[in-house]
Chains A and B, each alone.
Chain A
């Protein structure tokens, strides 16, 4: 069972605002989902490694150089997609 306090803690970690009513609803729903995944405890995983991908894959790297298919105007467009931007920079609230 997940408490309302735990929901508040996770919501803050996840950066999600929530009304009190929603906190109660989430507490109930998350509890039933987490009860369901408890099933995993029954699986015998003593002799098996964890995998994060279905197949073994290797890192792929490229040379750190400018790509010919990207234009300066693309950068401008990306910055201008930010809700607040100024002089080619993304504007962020002061953090102090």
Chain B
């Protein structure tokens, strides 16, 4: 038994049967991080001392024959844009290099209640803006399956940490694909919940109408355990909603799968297409009904996203002014110079680019032509999904048209990087739940199948994914 490969329920069983202790488990993971993360760089900071004392507390409970929750003693990693009280939270940015979180995010509070073990904080594109984790101010994360390639982004550190068995599970955030893309590129399961399923309180805001926190895990079961632990209404996030139990009775013969034809057009890597179609075929052979569907406004999703998300980002990031907290050029003479220099030097190139696009799209004279039009297009995209979901239960598509690309390959050309997200951004615009499930490989490079569900039907897409996982050879 390799202790690093265990799933959440295997760990829970092992702890209860005293096959190993939570401290042993924590030490084994920390050792693996020290050895392997030199070349992968998933972690921006480690939380060794308090992780070990948290683990000791769990061991004490077990010794005293107390009940433990499913996540007690299970080591996890947290994307460094989610606040854990008294730990550094950098958002991958120089502007927050020395920022210590003054409170816990709601998801962290919930995990702490279960006595989860926080190994450390993981690398990301600065402020979660990017598709490769190369935009981190602290250096890129490498894909554990091929160190010369990117892990996807922006939650690349969280995905790589789970793929390399340095952490049992992790949390990321997804604004336009930032959980699903790295899950696909690294070969783990990643779930972007429905907008409103999980509280965003304590997540450093990028685009508030699109952001959601979600889990990365090795198995569908683990993914569900973590999602169930973090979901739910929160008075600190007015967009979070009370969730009803789905009471799902999943039967493959009753499953209706829609395959959007606009997601299989010119530009997709033929090897990706082959593996995705092969996976869909397996569902068909097992008795699911497959129907080709159309989402006619798909081509407008990416341009709408690249107006809406930078617009929201430019407003959200206005708080970084060199005055309240974070990096400051406070020795300047005038207030204007403090603003200009703190922000100009504190933000990296991609963040400044997006602030510029957002400021432009919202500025007088361009607001109607750009921002307002994009928000109307957003409604068209939402309507497309509503229409097809009256006929099918889930949609299946690739996560990205591309295989994991080489570090450095796209970073000089912002637009070529944006195109990586062409199949993921519509889901955020429509607020839907979606996950990435590893369904094959080209050489050593994993490929994720994207399963998209109706609003608040996370259980449906998880059960659909579980079916594939159970029937893998």
Interface residues of A (CB under 8 A from B): 2, 7, 10-18, 26, 29-30, 32-34, 36-43, 45, 48-55, 57, 59-60, 62, 74, 77-78, 81-84, 90, 92-95
Contact = CB atoms under 8 A, between A and B. Distances in A.
Q: Taking chain B's interface residues, is the majority helix, strand, or loop, or is none over half, making it mixed? A: helix
Contacts of B339: 15
A16 B353 CA distance: 10
Interface of B: 99-100, 102-103, 195-196, 209, 235, 238-239, 297, 299-300, 302-304, 306-307, 314, 318, 321-326, 328, 330, 332-336, 338-341, 343-345, 347, 352-353, 355-357, 359-360, 363, 370, 372-380, 382-383, 414-415, 418, 429-432, 455
Contacts of A14: 314, 343, 355-356, 359
A57 B360 contact: no
Contacts of B363: 10, 13
A15 B238 contact: no
> Shortest 6 CB-CB distances between A and B: which pairs?
A54-B431, A17-B344, A50-B375, A83-B328, A45-B376, A60-B238
A34 B358 CA distance: 11
A57 B356 CA distance: 29
8 contacts: A2-B360, A10-B356, A15-B321, A17-B340, A17-B341, A53-B209, A55-B455, A83-B322
A54 B340 contact: no
Contacts, number: 160
B34 to A, nearest CB: 31
A59 B239 CA distance: 9
A72 B361 CA distance: 41
A60 B196 CA distance: 14
A42 B299 CA distance: 10
A45 B196 contact: no
A83 B182 CA distance: 35
Given A30-B353, A33-B357, 13 more contacts: A29-B414, A30-B356, A30-B357, A37-B370, A48-B376, A51-B379, A54-B455, A55-B431, A60-B238, A83-B323, A84-B323, A90-B324, A93-B335
B373 A55 contact: no
A55 B241 CA distance: 11
A78 B380 contact: no
A39 B100 CA distance: 42
A18 B339 CA distance: 12
Looking at A2, A7, A11, A93, which has the most chain B CB atoms within 10 Å of its CB? A93
A16 B431 contact: no
B303 A51 contact: no
Contact of B340 (A7, A16, A45, A78): A16
B431 A29 contact: no
